[in-house]
């Protein structure tokens, strides 16, 4: 794949993740009060939570530290992608990670906290951006492993 093709695909994934994340959060904010819970399935609830930390509430209240950590991670990812944009499939985790991170950063800038709303037993509430970031990390590890000489 060409470098430009990799950037275009990563951009499309980023836009799709960001749009889906913001749409689902807007629906939750317009239909649930903070703390309200609705059972969807026996193992899945919708619950509106305002998360002012990162990764399941870690560093809650430390907005400046959160912004610095996210900015550093995004900068590193963009630099890595710029150097490896022609690698097969590297566009997918890059788009997932950037789209998820930007979805949560947008919430943080607009509201001072991220809207989380999916809740499974024994796990903190999360959102579409969090899912994209998690899948993106796994996909990045797999794509890096696939590119190693064995």
Residues labelled as active-site residues? 116, 130
Residue 60 region by backbone torsions, left for phi larger than 0, else alpha for psi between -120 and 50, else beta = beta
**Backbone φ and ψ of 83, nearest 5°:** -80, -20
Strand partners, 51: 114
Judge whether 56 and 107 are in contact, CB under 8 Å.
no
Contacting residues for 2 by C-beta, under 8 A, at least 6 apart: 86
The bridge status of strand 114-119 relative to strand 37-41 is: unpaired
Measured between alpha carbons, how far is 46 from 117 in angstroms, rounded to an integer? 5
């Amino acid at each position: 794949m060409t470098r430009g093709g990799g950037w275009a695909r990563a951009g499309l994934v980023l836009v799709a993740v960001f749009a889906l994340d913001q749409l689902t959060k807007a629906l939750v904010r317009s239909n649930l009060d903070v703390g309200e819970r609705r059972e969807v399935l026996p193992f899945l609830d919708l619950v509106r939570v305002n998360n002012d930390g990162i990764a399941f509430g870690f560093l809650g209240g430390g907005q400046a530290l959160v912004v610095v950590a996210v900015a550093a991670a995004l900068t590193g990812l963009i630099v890595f992608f710029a150097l490896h944009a022609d690698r097969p499939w590297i566009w997918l985790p890059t788009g997932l990670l950037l789209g998820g991170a930007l979805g949560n950063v947008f919430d943080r800038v607009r509201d001072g906290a991220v809207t989380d709303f999916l809740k499974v037993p024994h796990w903190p509430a999360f959102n579409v951006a969090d899912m994209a970031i998690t899948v993106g990390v796994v996909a990045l590890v797999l794509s890096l492993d696939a590119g190693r000489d064995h």
